[in-house]
Amino acid sequence: MDPDMVQQVIDAASRVVASGAISANGHGNVSLRVPGEDEMYFTGGPSLRGHQPEAVARVGLDGTLREGRLPPIQAAVVAMHTAMYADQPAVGCVIHTHSPFATSFAVARRPIGCWIEALAMFGLPDGVPVAGYGPRGSDQAVANIRAAVVPGVPAVLLANHGVLVFHRTPELAVLVGGVVEEAAQAAVNSIGFGGPVEIPPEMRAAALQRAMAFEQEGTAEVGRR
Ligand SMILES: [Zn+2]
């Protein structure tokens, strides 16, 4: 087991917990692809809260356990992680949670619309699609996820289950998980005032361009312009 990879997975799990986009019991799993190898490091523990390095497992992208141990309940969801790495070479981190507000949409089998600007800025200008239900870890569940994932779109809701986020780095994956949860929470809170309204499609592109323009200008500092 590479201690550096183990630490990176633990750090990513801690970041998910710190982001707040997680259910009360902390259920979820995080994996990191080993660069250049056909394997990943995976959180085999029951909760991302206080996840211990000893519970991290090294798993082949064919789903076989290579090092560590994998309780059955965690082994069942390995396939949805490996499928994302197999299908998307650029993906370096996969995160699965039951973050409460996003999971409310998953339970209702309703996609999340582009209700907040951050979705457009972080690769979800058309919101978050829903993958049809299948028993967790089943071939059906994985096939449904693959069918729902839109190339370049870093998140999908899992019907009657939770959320799956995948991105190049753990930092970006955690960020997207937080943005998805924030959009879902704002939408639920807006229901008393008529419900969420989508940003018009042409304005979503404008929001992204505006964000990129700010990014190019760099950090503002006094005395520098
Ligand atoms: Zn789950």
CATH topology of domain 3-217: L-fuculose-1-phosphate Aldolase (3.40.225)
pLDDT band at residue 218, thresholds of 50, 70 and 90? confident
- CA 138/CA 72 separation, integer angstroms: 13
User: How far is the centre of ligand 1, averaged over its atoms, from the C-alpha of 210 (Å)?
Assistant: 35
Alpha helices by DSSP H, listed for 54-169, are 72-75, 78-87, 100-108, 117-121, 139-148
pLDDT band at residue 15, thresholds of 50, 70 and 90? very high
User: How far is the centre of ligand 1, averaged over its atoms, from the C-alpha of 162 (Å)?
Assistant: 6
User: How far is the centre of ligand 1, averaged over its atoms, from the C-alpha of 96 (Å)?
Assistant: 7
User: How far is the centre of ligand 1, averaged over its atoms, from the C-alpha of 161 (Å)?
Assistant: 6
User: How far is the centre of ligand 1, averaged over its atoms, from the C-alpha of 193 (Å)?
Assistant: 31
Helix (H, G, I), strand (E, B) or coil at 59: strand
Tokens read off for 189: 């809170």
User: How far is the centre of ligand 1, averaged over its atoms, from the C-alpha of 14 (Å)?
Assistant: 17
Q: For residue range 101-156, what is the model confidence (pLDDT) as tens digits?
A: 999 999 999 999 999 999 999 999 999 999 999 998 889 999 999 999 998 899 99
User: How far is the centre of ligand 1, averaged over its atoms, from the C-alpha of 28 (Å)?
Assistant: 6
pLDDT band at residue 72, thresholds of 50, 70 and 90? confident
pLDDT band at residue 225, thresholds of 50, 70 and 90? low
User: How far is the centre of ligand 1, averaged over its atoms, from the C-alpha of 113 (Å)?
Assistant: 22
User: How far is the centre of ligand 1, averaged over its atoms, from the C-alpha of 166 (Å)?
Assistant: 15
The pLDDT, as a whole number, for residue 224 is 62
pLDDT band at residue 86, thresholds of 50, 70 and 90? very high
Tokens read off for 27: 């259920």
Would you list the domain boundaries of the chain?
3-217
- CA 33/CA 54 separation, integer angstroms: 18
pLDDT band at residue 209, thresholds of 50, 70 and 90? confident
Q: What is the residue type of 100?
A: P
